[in-house]
């Protein structure tokens, strides 16, 4: 499929997740065959004022393309200026966040709060599209709450303003990540606009991905939480959509080996201190459901170095019940 001028190898896309989809994660997702990866969301004001932490998020050097960089904000002029910076960093696409439900974001009229102001949302998209050459996409939700389901209205408005594709998460902002995603909202948007529509929400297996595409007619699927500690979710989904064959789940030793690789990448890009801290959550995800994982988490949470974590993982692998 194509998004504007950008060709994707397949319709499997990695969702942007704050604190998760950093450079290490994106490399692993790409190696697993993901058709498009996306950075964590970046504040327009942080971009414009040169925030140091933001600079690290924008580092996509050496990564396989295409890579999308997601920005958020509520001022059309600020968003346009930040989009220019993002484009200069080498972004293949620029995604505008209109779906984040967290209070500190919506409190400023950003993220999913923009779903309550369709006119402003469209102005933001137009201001960004007018400033950059790369395709601009929008990620939204079903609506603010069940009384204001307006994904179709917003999708039409942002597409008219120049958006090259839209992603629809089938939950309202008030749901956050609870309850069931409404795939019907995705289908409604697909019928309403002529650009590619990406479906998001409750894709926990390759079978779910195919079911969403068949049920909604969406052009691609966006996978988020199901891929935490599980980059095989991308490769297995790509394979299933292409061949109709469901590959087996990874073995425990494969998961531990991938956790080791993830740790090494984190050390490479963020340094040992930060890597050790961040690996705590990733190790828990890689080993969840495996015998002895609770003890592993306890040990890793006390580890203070890369070597300690690596040794703990090796010991875990030797004792895990295959």
Query: Which residues are annotated as catalytic?
Result: 100
Q: Assess contact for 80 and 131: CB atoms under 8 A.
A: yes
DSSP string for residues in 95-137: EEEE----HHHHTTT-GGGGGG-HHHHHHHHHHHHHH-SS-EE
Structural tokens at position 30: 């790409």
Its sign, for the CA torsion 218, 74, 173, 97, is positive
- Give the list of residues 6+ apart from residue 220 with CB closer than 8 angstroms, or none: 1, 8, 11, 12, 13, 35, 36, 196, 198, 199
Structural tokens at position 285: 């995800």
Structural tokens at position 83: 């989009």
Its sign, for the CA torsion 35, 40, 46, 50, is negative
Q: Phi and psi dihedrals of 303, rounded to 5?
A: -70, 145
- Give the list of residues 6+ apart from residue 74 with CB closer than 8 angstroms, or none: 108, 109, 110, 113, 114, 120, 124
Q: Phi and psi dihedrals of 56, rounded to 5?
A: -70, -40
Q: Phi and psi dihedrals of 108, rounded to 5?
A: -95, 10
Q: Assess contact for 265 and 29: CB atoms under 8 A.
A: no
């Amino acid at each position: 499929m194509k998004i504007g001028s950008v060709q994707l190898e397949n319709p499997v896309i990695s969702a942007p997740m704050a604190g998760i989809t950093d450079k290490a994660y994106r490399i692993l997702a790409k190696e697993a065959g993901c058709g498009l990866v996306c950075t964590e969301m970046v504040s327009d004001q942080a971009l414009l004022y040169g925030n140091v932490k933001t600079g690290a998020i924008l580092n996509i050097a050496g990564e396989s393309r295409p890579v999308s960089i997601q920005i958020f904000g509520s001022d059309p002029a600020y968003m346009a200026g930040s989009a220019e910076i993002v484009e200069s960093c080498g972004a293949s696409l620029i995604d505008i966040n209109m779906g984040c439900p967290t209070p500190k974001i919506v409190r400023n009229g950003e993220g999913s709060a923009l779903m309550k102001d369709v006119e402003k949302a469209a102005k933001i998209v137009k201001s960004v599209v007018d400033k950059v050459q790369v395709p601009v996409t929008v990620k939204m939700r079903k609506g603010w709450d069940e009384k204001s389901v307006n994904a179709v209205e917003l999708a039409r408005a942002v597409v008219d303003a120049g958006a090259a594709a839209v992603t629809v998460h089938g939950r309202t902002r008030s749901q956050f990540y609870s309850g069931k995603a409404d795939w019907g909202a995705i289908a409604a948007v697909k019928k309403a606009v002529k650009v590619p529509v990406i479906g998001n929400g409750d894709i926990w297996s390759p079978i779910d991905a195919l079911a969403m595409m068949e049920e909604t007619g969406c052009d691609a699927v966006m996978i988020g939480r199901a891929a935490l500690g599980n980059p095989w979710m991308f490769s297995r989904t790509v394979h299933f959509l292409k061949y109709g064959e469901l590959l087996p789940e990874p073995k425990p030793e494969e998961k531990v080996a991938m956790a080791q690789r993830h740790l090494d990448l984190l050390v490479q890009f963020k340094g040992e201190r930060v890597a050790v801290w961040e690996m705590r959550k990733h190790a828990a995800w890689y080993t969840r459901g495996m015998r002895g994982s609770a003890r592993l988490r306890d040990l890793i949470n006390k580890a203070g170095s890369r070597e300690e974590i690596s040794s703990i993982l090796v010991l875990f692998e030797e004792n895990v019940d295959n």
